[in-house]
Amino acid sequence: MPTEATSAPDNRGLRLAVGVGGHFALAILLGWPLATICTVFVTLFLQAPGPMPPKAIKGLFMMAVVFLTASWVISSALSPYPVAFLLGLALAVASAFYWSTKGTGMLAVVLALMAALMLPTLVLTSQKLALILVIWVPLNLVLAWLWTVAMFHLFPPTPSGVAAAQKPPAPHHDPSRLVWRMSLVTIPFAFYFYLVGSGALVTLLFVAILSQQLSAATAAGPTVARGMLKANVLGGIAAMICYELTVIAPLMLVALLAFATAAFVFARWFVSGRADASLAGSGLTTTVILFGGSIAPFGDDADVALVDRLLQIGNALMFVLIAYVVVDAFFPLTPDPKAKTKRRPRARLRRRTAPS
């Protein structure tokens, strides 16, 4: 029906704006551990066509518990031995990337990369913070899921809205070649990160995620990169505007209203139907990370931290782009050999059944 078709995009937009804006307000007011990460999970969940089934969130929760706990235990045991620690780190990163080629969801891949990269590095600096990550990331997953289920009931999905949220199937490439490409980009950076002793964990995770997203992009790589840069820059600008408004009028209400306005702007972009509408979620996620971290109760020197985080994202993007220029020269993409073998029997069957 025409009314359904026109209301579906607005329904998705309202769900995203109200869901993310409302949860951000709760996260700032209540301030439980890693509340900003919980809002990031909400942002990811609300971009889906429908709520995640209970069975799926149960599996995701168990996955987070197992991955993070195992990473914490192994990293703590290997931390006194630098060579063994780096070898374990490389193996964990390669395993996470291999797992991503098996059709695993993006959020599960992010959790695996957090366990492979962020947690081992955090173990070296603070066992207490690492333990908080192990405990509260799985709990925040469940809290985010409960909130998004409520949002999907408040703003129920419609058939046209579900169709608009569907993504085209990804092209098939050789999984082993993809793992090599992602590992060659991420693992050297992780080693450098460890040797330098940098504390910019956001940069490390962004390099891994961007490497995974750009691994299957050759000719489209610059286009994809420009889109990511656009989303992150716009998200950073929105975070800076929100922060400056909060500095001018240092009231919690001003901060929450500023972020709510940004959430509605990104939600409007999300349902605009434009070719770059899918970037709105990334932009909103960047705003959550930057602005949420800058006004957290335990945040010091927030203005400098905000600019630093934005620079970290830009540096991660530039590193991945330059690295893939080199990797493309030595390890270009190849089609998935299994995909070829699956098509041949069907072609033979069509020839046999064709009328003579």
User: Which helix (H) or strand (E) covers residue 23, if one does?
Assistant: helix 2-30
pLDDT of the residue at 219: 54
Helix 280-294 vs helix 221-248: crossing angle, to nearest 10? 40
Q: Both tokens of residue 179?
A: 């793992």
pLDDT for 39-69, tens place per residue? 999 999 999 888 999 999 999 999 999 999 9
Domain boundaries in the chain?
Answer: 2-158+174-334
What is the C-alpha separation between 278 and 284, in angstroms, rounded?
A: 11
Intervals of the chain under pLDDT 70: 1-10, 159-173, 197-202, 215-222, 225, 296-306, 309, 334-356
Rounded CA separation 350/48 (Å): 37
Structure token digits, residue 325:
């220029």
Residue with tokens 């209400």: 253
The 10s digit of each residue's pLDDT in 143-173 is 999 999 999 999 998 765 555 555 555 555 6
Helix boundaries (H) for 101-126 = 106-113, 119-125
* Unique residue bearing structure tokens 């610059």: 222
Strand spans (E) along 8-67: none
Residues in the chain: 356
Residue carrying the six token digits 């990293």: 75
> What pLDDT score was predicted for residue 39?
94
- Rounded-to-integer distance, Cα 231 and Cα 240, Å: 14
Q: pTM of this prediction?
A: 0.80
Angstrom distance (rounded) from CA 67 to CA 7: 41
